[in-house]
Amino acid sequence: MLVTLKELLKEAEVEKRAVGAFNVPNMECLRGVIQAAEDLNVPVIIQHAEVHENLITIEEIGPLMVAYAKNAKVPVAVHLDHGASLTACLKAIKLGFTSIMYDASLKDYETNVKETSELVKIAHSVNVSVEAELGEMTNSAIAGGEGRESSLSDFGNVDLFTNPQQAEDFIEATKVDCLAISFGTVHGKYMFEPKLDFERIAEIRSTTQRKPLVMHGGSGVSEEDYRKAISQGIRKINYYTYMNMAAGDALKKKVINNSSTEIFFDELSLLATDAIKENVIQALKIFNGL
C-alpha cells in the first residue's frame, strides 16, 4: 500500500518507534526489503539516493519502486534520498514518489532555508512529504557516498552537529515534515565505534515541538544505541551499507565454496535477495521494538 512519509511518521510518533528507510538501487534490494517488511507486518520506506544514479537511474528504478509499494501488503512510502536539486526532486514527484528529501545542508543556512521552503510549497501542494537536513553529515572512508568527504578529525566533531535552536527556527521557517539531524553518525561503514549525542536529540525534540527526527548513517549502530535514539525521538532511520555488505558476504562465500563448479547468476541473485531480507528483518525488529 503506497502511503506518504508524513503518515508513517505520525503513526511512529504515537507508537514511539522508528520507520526503517532502505535504499534500493537494484531488484535484490527492492525485493528483499519489501519481503522483510511483509514478513514482520511493519511499514517501511524504500528510497532512491541520487548518489546511486551511477548504479541505476531514477527513471529505471522509480516506477518499479512505486509499483512494489502499491502492491505491498504493508504501508510503504517511496522516498528520494539526498535530492540535491529542484530538478531531481520534481522528477521524483512526477514518477509518483510520496516523499522527497531536499538536501541543502552543505549550503549556508539562509540558502538552505530559502530553497527548502520553496520545495516544501511545491511538494505539499501535491501531497508529497518533505525531509530536509540541518547540520553536517560526514562520510566514512569506507563505503561512503553521501554528505561531504571527511577527515579523521570530523568524527565526533560537535561543531558539525545540528544546533537545537537553529533547528527550531529552520522547521518554523520551512514547514518540513521531518528533519535529518547530525549527532554523531556517519554515512558508510564505521571505522570507529560511533559516539552519539543523545542529549542533543532530546534537546532538538524539545525546541522543535516534537517534530519527527531522522537518523542518517543508521547502518552499523548498536542495538542499544538504536533503541536509545528512538526513545529520544528518532522516527526514521536510514539503513543501507550493512545490508549491502550482507549480500556481498553471502555471494563471496558461495563463490569460494563452489569454485570448482558452475555458478549461475540467477542463483546469486536469489541468494543476495535472501541475505538482504534477513539483514533487514533484524534491523526492522529493533526499529519497531519487536
pLDDT in tens, the chain (290 residues): 999 999 999 999 999 999 999 999 999 999 999 999 999 999 999 999 999 999 999 999 999 999 999 999 999 999 999 999 999 999 999 999 999 999 998 899 999 999 999 999 999 999 999 999 998 766 544 444 444 444 444 445 667 889 999 999 999 999 999 999 998 887 655 555 667 889 999 999 988 878 899 999 877 789 999 999 999 999 999 999 999 999 999 999 999 888 778 889 999 999 999 999 999 999 999 999 99
Q: Residue 171: its pLDDT value, please?
A: 95
Distance CA 121, CA 105 (A): 18
Catalytic residue among 39, 81, 108, 249: 81
Coil, strand or helix: which one is 97? coil
CA dist 9 to 17, 61, 76, Å?
A: 9, 24, 12
To the query of whether residue 225 is one of the catalytic residues in this protein, the response is no
pLDDT at position 193, please?
63
Distance (Å, whole) CA 167 – CA 201? 11
> In the numeric block, which cell numbers belong to residue 111?
540558502
Nearest by Cα to 168 from 137, 112, 210, 216? 210
Burial zone of 245 (CB within 10 Å; 0-12 exposed, 13-18 middle, 19+ buried): middle
* Contact (CB, 8 A) for 17 and 264: no
Task: Return d(Cα 164, Cα 108) in angstroms, integer.
Answer: 17
pLDDT of residue 194: 66
Please give the tally of structural domains in the chain.
Answer: 1
**Which pLDDT score is estimated for 208?**
86
- Cα separation, 62 vs 34, in Å, equals 15
Q: Is the pTM of this model over 0.85?
A: yes
- State how far the alpha carbon of 2 is from the alpha carbons of 46, 196, 274, in Å: 11, 33, 23
Burial class (CB in 10 A: 0-12, 13-18, 19+), 136: middle
What pairs with residue 187 in β-bridges?
139
The CATH number of the domain holding residue 224 is 3.20.20.70
Report the relative pairing of strands 213-215 and 186-187 from DSSP bridges: unpaired
Parent domain of 123 = 5-287
d(CA 237, CA 5): 12
What confidence score (pLDDT) does residue 233 get?
Answer: 93
The predicted structure's pLDDT at residue 152: 41
CA dihedral 154, 159, 164, 165 (to 10 degrees): -150
Looking at residue 258, its pLDDT comes to 82
Q: What is the model's pLDDT at position 219?
A: 79
